[in-house]
A and B are shown apart, each in its own frame.
Chain A
Amino acid sequence: MIAELGLAALWLAAALAALQLVAGALALREGGAELAALVRPAAIVQGFLAGFSFLMLLVLFAQTDLSVKLVAMNSHSEKPMIFKLSGSFGNHEGSMLLWVTVMALAGALIAAVERRLPEKTMLATLAAQSFVGIGFYAFLLLSSNPFERLPVPALEGMGLNPLLQDIGLVFHPPTLYVGYVGLSVAFSFAVGALLTRQVTPDFARAMRPWVLGAWIFLTLGITAGSYWAYYELGWGGWWFWDPVENASLMPWLAATALLHSASVLASRDALRTWTIMLGVVAFSMSMVGTFLVRSGILTSVHAFAVDPERGTFILGLLVIYIGGALLLFALRAGTISEGERFSVTSREGALVFNNVMLSAILGIVLLGTLYPLLTEAFDVRVSVGPPYFNPVGAIFVVPMLLVMAVGPLLRWRKDSLTRIRLPIAIIGGALLAALILVSLLSSVSILPLLGLVLSIGLAIASFMPIRGRKLRLLPIATWGMMIAHFGIAVALFGMASESAFSEETLAAVEVGGSADVGDWNVVLTEVRPTAGPNWTALEGRMMVSYKGGDAKEIDPQSRNFWAPPQETTESALVTRWNGQLYAVIGRQAGEGRWQLRLWWKPFVTFIWYGGMLVALGGLLALIGRLMADLKRRSIKSRVAGRRAETAV
């Protein structure tokens, strides 16, 4: 019954999306004005129905209803409740349902709260949002129905991939999805504005909070995913340039560029077509990423249920939506005037430069991800990894970071570097001092060296905008920018330090034996069997001490899950302010010796602290914008109220 309710709600939501599209499109034409009243309610009800449908799926998983195929394939009665719930989106069908739910809820939210867009653009935006939605409803209902029943209920479920039975993976996919799919709003805004040709600063101001919201979630999702891969996969790496990781990075790069270009449009009425283009590109990257992951066209560690037929379906959706939007762009963008001009040395100039750099990085990541696809057409197998991405990316990251340090100090429209020569001298001095210090202290290869030096320079530069201003009067959004930029510096420092200073020890140790890594001493005191709700494990008990200090116990495990049968490594971490000890226990190496893999990774945690700071900066900027907005609204209504009074 619950499955049928969910399915019915999904069909109704799809029908409402169709209504929303037709009413919106007709209302845009002459004489269709009365249909306009239908569009907003349709969007809101559609959001409720999709949300209800997803809730039903959660209930099915919570109850472990084994007559439903998806539950039988991906769940197990003995799994802890939290992983039963997260199992609902740990598979193809469920995650697509999450996708349309987020999309419908985003549409409902715009319909409910957005009041700044001109009415026509608003209608066009909601029509575009429902148009994209319909394709994904069709995909779900026609080829990936999550509520399908089995002819005969299963006796027991097949379980969820043990790697996904981890608390990090409970939050990572929904967070990432809100970000990923939240960008559909930017896409719909861009298409709406192209349809009505109203690309104005007001449009940018209306779009900015939505992009910011999606971008915050995307930032958090990528940060959490990276940390999960780091501690769960057991090889100590935090980024692999895997197609799926790239699929989440590319929308982030596009959304970051979009945020900044929308700022220019909002403040200075420049970069109109560019902003529209980025709006289209950001969500297009989400869709392309989904296609790459689910069609099985690229080999990836995130092997979802791979199916060429689904791949064909999604490719069809891509052609309709991305192709359609780009066609509209090609036809219409020429009729949108370019907007205001500005000089190269100005806030806009710096933002444009960094927009170009971000786009170049996006292009590089896209090329690297798709390159194997291209060469395979000529029967050449390659895999593209760090030797390509790191140095080629650095060519654009380094100038971007330098401009990012100076850009926020520049004034809008026209400025001169001589006016800010003092801060530039301070930043330059910091860079030079860091360069000398790092190269004297240790021999570090070129990329990590650049990373360390730039991160120190950027950390100082990111708070320079405070100079000469009253702290209390500084807008919250400006704090947000400074903290986000500082977060980039912090994360960069962590990445560079991890790659420059990590130490690794591989040892076969008997119980009672010890091994050293960095300043740590690790003693293996015991290896014992232990059991969890749906796994058994060999647990190594280790006493670890830093520089001969107090010993601390850690217990890395090698776990065996039985449904489905799979072995996972549960690394043990000891976090200090200056880094992390990372310990993995492997197989028995014979003669009672155990394989231990130990790393000391100085300042590695800064990578994720940095990511969180970036998200926090985004949150502050969002709060700042929304508060300014509310203030403006209340002033407007007060002015209107007074006018009404005087008129009487």
Chain B
Amino acid sequence: MIRWTLWVPLALFLLFCGVAAYQLTQPKDEFIASTMIGQPLPEFDLRAASADRPGLATRDLRDGQPRLLNVFASWCIPCIAEAPQLEALRRQGADIAAVAIRDKPEDVARFLANYGNPYSRIGADDLSELQLAIGSSGVPETFVIDGQGVIRYQHIGDIRASDVPVLLQKLAEAK
């Protein structure tokens, strides 16, 4: 064996130690932002999910007004929990559009009758196509969309009372 090759393992190991030592000094940030932030919404045109609200299309989210886009379903229990917070957001001036995932019109109507209807528009996403296209992996989730139809923020999970000011601020920033 050639002499210098005997030093290769040690050199590789020290390289590893160097990288590891550097990483140990770096603050660990577990938060990973969605790569969809800053991306325009895909083109879509969804039928209305319930009788008393219009459906939802990309052009509705490009009219210059920032909105919240709430992804929900009547069969989702955390969606019931966040209903009062959505109502609070609406009262404080947020315009909320919604997408109902894999739902039937009568179920949506019953859900809205029971837990309130803060939405201005509700589109029906029967095959989760839009949901997947905007990088949402579950219900409920809430997006901030600026007036040009670009995704600015994504909130995963139900909205707690403490999240309301955060969402309002993100909405104001999206103007």
Contacts and interface: CB of A to CB of B under 8 A. Distances in A.
Given A315-B17, A323-B13, A297 B23 contact: yes
B9 A308 contact: no
B113 interface: no
Contacts of B22: 377
Contacts of B77: 587-588
B127 interface: no
Contacts of A291: 20
Interface string B1-37: 1010011011001101101111110101010100000
B74 interface: yes
B72 to A, nearest CB: 13
Interface string A294-326: 011101000000001001100100110011001
Interface string A479-523: 000000000000000000000000000000000000000000000
Contacts of A252: none
B21 A381 contact: no
A512 B138 CA distance: 28
Contacts of A588: 77
A551 interface: no
B30 A299 contact: yes
A329 B6 contact: yes
A interface bracket (residues with beta carbon within 8 Å of B): 35 or more
B14 A295 contact: no
Contact of B19 (A319, A338, A374): A374
A297 B24 contact: yes
Most central of A273, A299, A322, A338 by chain B CB within 10 Å: A322
A379 to B, nearest CB: 10
Interface in A376-411: 376-377, 381
B12 to A, nearest CB: 9
A31 interface: no
B3 A329 contact: no
How many B residues touch the partner, as a band?
A: 20 to 34
A296 B7 CA distance: 29
Interface in B54-75: 74-75
A373 B19 contact: yes
Contacts of A296: 28
Contacts of B21: 312, 315
Contact of B6 (A295, A297, A330): A330
B23 A326 contact: no
Given A329-B6, A587-B77, A589-B75, A323 B23 contact: no
Interface core residue of B1, B6, B20, B28 (most chain A CB under 10 Å): B20
Nearest to B27: A308
A213 to B, nearest CB: 26
A590 interface: yes
Contacts of A376: 23, 26
A222 interface: no
Contacts of B28: 296, 308
Nearest to B35: A381
A281 B14 CA distance: 14
A277 interface: yes
Given A296-B28, A338-B1, A323 B10 contact: yes
A322 B16 CA distance: 12
Contacts of A288: 16
A326 B75 contact: no
Contacts of A315: 17, 20-21, 24
Contacts of A281: 9
A329 B7 CA distance: 8
8 smallest A-B Cβ distances: which pairs? Answer: A590-B75, A326-B10, A330-B6, A330-B7, A333-B6, A326-B9, A311-B24, A297-B23
30 contacts: A281-B9, A284-B13, A296-B28, A297-B20, A297-B23, A308-B24, A308-B28, A311-B24, A315-B17, A323-B10, A323-B14, A323-B17, A326-B10, A326-B13, A329-B6, A330-B6, A330-B7, A330-B9, A333-B1, A333-B6, A334-B1, A334-B3, A334-B6, A370-B19, A373-B19, A377-B19, A377-B23, A587-B77, A588-B77, A590-B74
Given A312-B24, A338-B1, 6 more contacts: A308-B24, A315-B17, A329-B6, A377-B23, A381-B32, A587-B77
